[in-house]
């Protein structure tokens, strides 16, 4: 099945779109996606392929897909994984998906691959766990994509009305140097603000305004009224 899925992906490739996507996902020398390879599929096309093969792809197929150098092939592997875990009925089944994900973290190596997968795979798993130490280990790993996974995973918790881990991981990442972590952390704080944690987020911002990266702040306050946004921006000066 691997060869069939790969053939379908390559058939839909578009050189012009591939060039544009490579630039967008920063695959140039010294950039965060250095060396990544694109064939130029759109997200609707990758989702269409994923849905078509969601009941046919085995773990062996997914292993070959996720190891592929082509970005869209890895995206399809992760999307199929998400579709399959959503149908898992037992704890053992779920743990098998989670183990697969952790085993292949090095291939979840761009922000869209992180964002399309971790909250759906790790989110439900860790939400039910008292011990979230593996999630916090990711936040302290020193690896850009693992660190992004740690904070984006909490999106699932936020949707369930639990904000504790989002703030704790934000504390860990608040001194991070990379813009992609600033954006992700600010985004999660904005989601908390929108999902009923308005006072908690505003308190958190005031407490950390002097050390919070400007990008993180801007993302966190994006949905506020203009006067409120300006107030927080002025606090940070």
Mean pLDDT of the chain: 95
Please state the rounded mean pLDDT for residues 135-152: 97
Please state the rounded mean pLDDT for residues 185-193: 98
Residue 135 has pLDDT above 70, yes or no: yes
Q: Could you tell me which of 66, 46, 45, 60 has the C-alpha nearest to residue 1?
A: 60
1-116 CATH fold? 1.25.10
pLDDT tens digit sequence for 48-93: 999 999 999 999 999 999 999 999 999 999 999 999 999 988 888 9
How confident is the model at residue 63, as a pLDDT? 97
- Domain extents in the chain: 1-116, 135-237
Confidence of residue 190 (pLDDT cuts 50, 70, 90): very high
Please state the rounded mean pLDDT for residues 28-41: 93
Please state the rounded mean pLDDT for residues 167-189: 97
pTM across the whole model: 0.94
Q: Which of 84-93, 169-178, 187-196, 201-210 has the lowest mean pLDDT?
A: 84-93
CA gap 182, 122 in Å, rounded = 21
Question: Could you write out the DSSP letters of every residue in the chain?
Answer: -HHHHHHHHHHT--HHHHHHHHHHTT-STTSTTTT-B-----HHHHHHHHHHHTTT--HHHHHHHHT-SBHHHHHHHHHHHHHHHTT--SHHHHHHHHHHHHHTGGG--SHHHHHTTHHHHHHHHHHT-S--HHHHHHHTSS-HHHHHHHHHHHHHHHHTT--HHHHHHHHHHTT---HHHHHHHHHHHHHHHHTT-HHHHHHHHHHHTTTS-HHHHHHHTTTS-HHHHHHHHHHT-
Confidence of residue 236 (pLDDT cuts 50, 70, 90): low
pLDDT tens digit sequence for 214-232: 999 999 999 989 988 888 8
Confidence of residue 96 (pLDDT cuts 50, 70, 90): very high
Please state the rounded mean pLDDT for residues 15-35: 93
CA gap 138, 146 in Å, rounded = 5
Question: How many Å separate Cα 198 from the centre of its chain?
Answer: 23
How confident is the model at residue 237, as a pLDDT? 65
């Amino acid at each position: 099945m691997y060869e069939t899925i790969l053939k379908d992906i390559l058939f839909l490739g578009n050189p012009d779109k591939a060039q544009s996507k490579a630039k967008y996902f920063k695959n140039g020398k010294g950039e965060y996606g250095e060396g990544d390879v694109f064939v130029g599929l759109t997200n609707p096309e990758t989702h269409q392929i994923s849905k078509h093969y969601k009941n046919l792809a085995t773990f062996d197929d997914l292993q070959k897909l996720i190891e592929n150098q082509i970005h869209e092939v890895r995206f399809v592997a992760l999307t199929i994984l998400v579709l399959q875990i959503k149908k898992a009925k037992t704890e053992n089944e779920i743990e098998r998906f989670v183990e697969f994900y952790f085993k292949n973290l090095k291939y979840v190596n761009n922000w869209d691959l992180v964002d399309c997968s971790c909250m759906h795979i790790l989110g439900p798993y860790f939400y039910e766990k008292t011990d979230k130490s593996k999630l916090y280990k990711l936040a302290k790993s020193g690896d850009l994509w693992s660190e992004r996974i740690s904070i984006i995973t909490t999106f699932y918790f936020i949707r369930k009305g639990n904000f504790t881990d989002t703030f704790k991981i934000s504390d860990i990442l608040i001194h991070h140097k990379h813009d992609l972590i600033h954006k992700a952390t600010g985004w999660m704080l904005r989601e908390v603000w929108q999902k009923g944690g308005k006072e908690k987020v505003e308190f958190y911002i005031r407490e950390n305004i002097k050390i919070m990266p400007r990008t993180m702040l801007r993302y966190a306050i994006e949905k506020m009224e203009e006067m409120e946004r300006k107030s927080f921006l002025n606090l940070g000066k």
